Amino acid sequence: MLNSIRAQLTLWYMGIMALVIIASAAAIYLLVARNLSRTVDENLTEIGQSIEANLHNEEADLVAERLMLLDPNSKERDEPEEDEQKKPNEPEFQTIEDAISEEISDLRFRAYGFTVLDQNGKLIAATVADIKLLDALEKLPETSSFADVAGVDTVFRVHRRTFILEGKPFRLSVTRSTAEQTDFLSSLRKVFSISIPVALLLTGLSGYFLVRRSLAPVVSMSEQAAKIGSSNLNERLPVKKENDELGELAHAFNALLSRLESSFEQQKRFMADASHELRTPLAIVRGEAEVALLKEDRTADEYRESLSIVHDESRRLSKIVEDLFILARADSGQLKPQFEPVYLDEILAECVRAVATLAEKRDITIEFLPAAEMPIICDEMLLHRLFLNLLDNAIKYNREGGTVSIAAESAENNYAVTVSDTGLGIASEDKARIFDRFYRADKARSRDNTNGKHGVGLGLAIAAWIAYVHSGTLRLARSDSEGSQFFIELPINRS
């Protein structure tokens, strides 16, 4: 199950989405927690500043009140009769500690607590009832600004600030319980613990159906491809959307099937033609042997004639087998050219000398002017075969007393060689197929042995392959009633 692409893509999709969702949830949680903490700290600071400002105002009021009490002309010195018993020059003054205590006791802030300690750590005023918190506040260092302090049932966020009243330092602590903040974050964690698995489940289901729907054409193509064999290579894969990736894949696979079909048909045709070409000379050899053996009293001339026929057909068989062997090795990649520096002009001269006897028998003139030195990097044996095949055809399918011309010249980075004859030419409908294996034009390529015409339709196919492996080209430049001309182009230096 996990080996299927659908399952793997779904798991990958869920894994990536899980990372995204968990990372987003963690970021949201941290951001909310940070904002809550910052908001609490800002509120504690703001309240602390407000209380400090009020206490400084109280200090100013105390100074003004004392000045009034010390002024004998003040109206406030007119005391009621019941106060006449007080000694003169002993006015009562409210202490700053009393003012702080009154101010703190009058504060009404929900969820906030306040304590004030003097410079000796003595508690001056407090609205905090948590004993554990009070004890912890007395032990906090004077330098702390914000701190988390554990109380009896909860943790408190504390803001400490020091201020001076009447020349004496006092420490104000503003506290707030973190229970509300903790409960909110706990609820947020619960929401995430439920929503994340649900989101992942929905993501997995939607991912699975999305992947299944996306891969449905692949499954369809796979099923169709499984049905295609050697007997129905003409069938093709369905293409629903031509412009997407799967459509391109289907087109590529259909193109592959077309090439396979063409190659398969070519192989079947090749095998059929090869069998036919081999069967004919074998039948002739067998027939001549049977005729020679049936009659006991045969003259030497009759035996010589039979052996001559057997010899000719044997040569033809050897030529066919040799050509088939070359093509088979070329198709399988076993025939590797051996490139080395040689001279093209010398190869052409040797080929002309090799076919001179055949040309002389048919009274055909070979025109070849030795060219200047033409160094080239190539496989010498294969180039011999290429030009011998072209010259052999030019002689076989030429008119009696005709001419075969060979010309070679340099053209930029290539050598251009033309082989021309004065034969009957090739019909228009045959020109496109003359390089196919076992293909022979009706007029120019017959199966009889007249004038040495033993061709089986492999020479030009082999010549074209040799030109190809040398990064060159072989093409029919012209063919009409005045003859044919083949053009060969070979690179001087292989890169």
| CA–CA gap between residue 179 and residue 152 (Å, rounded) | 12
Per residue in 385-428, pLDDT (tens digit) is 899 999 998 998 899 889 999 999 987 789 999 999 998 888 88
pLDDT value for 326: 79
- Listed residue (474, 472, 473) closest to 485, CA to CA: 474
CB 17 within 8 A of CB 203: yes
- Kindly state the tokens that stand for 266: 């070519």
Q: How far apart are CA 244 and CA 247, in angstroms?
A: 5
pLDDT digits (tens, 9 = 90+) for 54-93: 888 888 888 887 777 776 665 554 455 444 454 455 555 6
What are the pLDDT digits (tens) for 311-335?
A: 888 887 887 788 778 777 777 777 7
Find out whether 494 and 477 touch, Cβ atoms under 8 Å: no
What was the pLDDT predicted at 93? Answer: 60
Rg (CA), the chain: 55
Mean pLDDT over each residue of the chain, to the nearest integer: 82
- Report which of 136, 174, 175 is spatially closest to residue 152, judged by C-alpha positions: 136
**Residue of higher predicted confidence among 378 and 246:** 378
What pLDDT digit, counting tens, does each position of 418-462 carry?
Answer: 999 998 888 888 888 888 877 766 444 444 444 445 556 778 888
**Per-residue pLDDT band at 488 (split at 50, 70, 90):** very high
Instruction: Tell me what percent of the residues of the chain surpass a pLDDT of 90.
Output: 23
Query: C-alpha dihedral over 446, 448, 449, 453, to 10 degrees?
Result: 0
Question: For 368, which DSSP code?
Answer: E
* Higher per-residue pLDDT: 480 or 226: 480
What pLDDT shows up at residue 444? 41
Mean pLDDT on 5-16:
82
pLDDT over 70 (residue 384) = yes
Q: Supply angle C-alpha 173, 174, 176, rounded to 5.
A: 135
The pLDDT tens digits for 173-202 are 888 888 888 899 999 999 999 999 998 888
Q: Do 105 and 115 touch, CB atoms closer than 8 A?
A: no
Sign of the CA dihedral with 150 first, then 151, 156, and 161 last:
negative
Lowest mean pLDDT among 85-94, 117-126, 363-372: 85-94
Inter-residue contact 159 to 44 (CB < 8 Å):
yes
DSSP string, 260-318: HHHHHHHHHHHHHHHHHHHHHHHHHHHHHHHHHHH-SS--HHHHHHHHHHHHHHHHHHH
pLDDT at 42 over 80: yes
- The pTM assigned to this predicted structure is 0.49
Q: Percentage of the chain surpassing pLDDT 70? A: 89
> Helices in 342-424 by DSSP H: which ranges?
344-354, 356-361, 380-396
pLDDT of residue 229: 78
Identify the pLDDT of residue 350. Answer: 93
